[in-house]
Amino acid sequence: MQNEDIGTHVGTVISVRGSVVDVKFAKNLPHIHDILYATDKKIVLEVMAQLSINKVRAIALTPTQGLARGMVVKASGSPLAAPIGKNILSRMFDVFGNPIDGGSMPEGVRWKNVHQAPPPLVDRSTSSEIFTTGIKIVDVLAPIERGGKAGLFGGAGVGKTVLLTEMIHNMIGHHKGVSIFCGIGERCREGEELYREMAQAGVLENMVMLFGQMNEPPGSRFRIGHCALTMAEYFRDEEHRDVLLLIDNIFRFIQAGSEVSGLMGQMPSRMGYQPTLGTELSALEERIANTKNGAITSIQAVYVPADDFTDPAAVHTFSHLSASLVLSRKRASEGLYPAVDPLQSNSKMTTASIVGERHFALAHQIKQVFAQYDELKDIIAMLGLEQLSIQDRDIVKRARRLERFFTQPFFTTAQFSSAEGKFVTLEQSLDGCERILKGEFNHYPEKSLYMIGAINEAKLDDKNIKNEKIAAEKQTSSSGVQ
């Protein structure tokens, strides 16, 4: 743990109410955010308010069992700090910077205050760049901004973790960057499973994992995000590397802040949230930025309470996001992985001035085709495909082939699916979509476009071509007779 040299300032516990501890100091009152230690460093407190000339109110970052009135508390004289340095890669830490992967503390690390200001405007990059993930449906329909923030929405079992691990793999392999995973309010089981999966996928070497687990006090869960950003800023500003920061779940950060606020006795705001919700979220989100040294690109899992998008937590989070990826359970059940919903997912980057006229027009056309196909599904279910007009049948053909083209084998699932992973460039993705929309692949069976990389991988033998052409001619002639 950091701050081995404990200061000489000593106080006395005067009240303990759950995670809230009031401490009296005879002199030298600690600063806001300073760390206090009790019972030989076993209990760690963070100063949240100065109540009077000699009294402070602190929130516990560890369980407070055994703490009682009259006990001695020592002030460290410094705030919470996180370990930084090259040797933290491939390791897993808690909020205090202690390794929780069973290994010893890495050598040669420095400690840095977790409370840092966002980069000033003069240091920020003014150009908007696309962060290419190598995943077709994301890059074409909901491109992520380099140095921006993307929200990932989805329930259990629809492929959130798989999508995140693939992005980590592609970040390390193609962008030569660093990935940091921050679990806020994660279950212990999820953290252990993710660590094991990352090791098996071979992406752990350029990755750091931090966890403020669900069973830990709210103060610990509230600060783990700041620790992760401090590490991310080190790699961006000192190592000049691009960083992919994955946060699961940003709602739990807000929830932890609400718990801390309630414990501190602050008056609740709208719907019971803390009055400082906007400030606390901005203090975290605004540190995620693109500067002249590098970029921190963040993908955040977002839980929407009761599917109410007007909830203050959701509203404040959306104001910071530049892209939204919505995972669909229906698409997952159909085997269309990644199960990103093309109509509900969107990005602020999809404008002609940023992605270019061609990409913008294609994205608009693809969404139009999917929307029309969505409207025709009910008619197909009731009357059958044969009852549609030629134009509508053509739309269905293209939409179904686009759906299958947007599926993709992942590197991180190769050991389970025995299919080799594919990284598809943006140009290859756009080329494939353009050719499908022109009808070039209407005579190809749908399965030939399923789970491939670039469009050139779609194969068709002579027998298939002949059969498809005969069927198409029959269809045209019968339509002409009608």
CB-neighbour burial class of residue 171 (10 A; exposed 0-12, middle 13-18, buried 19+): buried
pLDDT band at 469 (very low <50, low <70, confident <90, very high): low
Number of H helices, E strands in the chain: 14, 18
Q: Quick one: residue 307, left, alpha or beta (phi over 0 = left, psi -120 to 50 = alpha)?
A: left
Whether the predicted pLDDT of 26 surpasses 60: yes
pLDDT on residue 5: 42
**Residues 123-145: tens digit of each pLDDT:** 888 788 898 999 999 999 999 99
- Rounded distance, CA 205 to CA 460, Å? 40
Q: What average pLDDT does range 410-432 have in this prediction?
A: 89
CB-neighbour burial class of residue 426 (10 A; exposed 0-12, middle 13-18, buried 19+): middle
Q: Which residues are catalytic?
A: 160, 186-187
pLDDT on residue 21: 95
Contacts with 458 (C-beta within 8 Å, 6 or more apart), sequence order? 441, 444, 448, 449, 452
pLDDT on residue 424: 95
Specify the long-range contacts of residues 43-48, CB closer than 8 Å, at least 24 apart: 43/67, 44/96, 45/21, 45/73, 46/79, 46/80, 46/219, 46/223, 48/260, 48/264
Strands 207-213 and 92-93: parallel
**Residues 359-401: tens digit of each pLDDT:** 999 999 999 999 999 999 888 888 888 888 889 999 999 999 9
Cα-Cα end-to-end distance for the chain? 81
pTM over cut 0.85: no
Whether the predicted pLDDT of 467 surpasses 80: no
**Residues 213-225: tens digit of each pLDDT:** 888 999 999 999 9
Q: What is the DSSP string of 351-418?
A: SHHHH-HHHHHHHHHHHHHHHHHHHHHHHHHHH-GGGS-HHHHHHHHHHHHHHHHT----GGGHHHH-
Q: What average pLDDT does range 411-425 have in this prediction?
A: 86
pLDDT on residue 6: 43
pLDDT on residue 479: 45
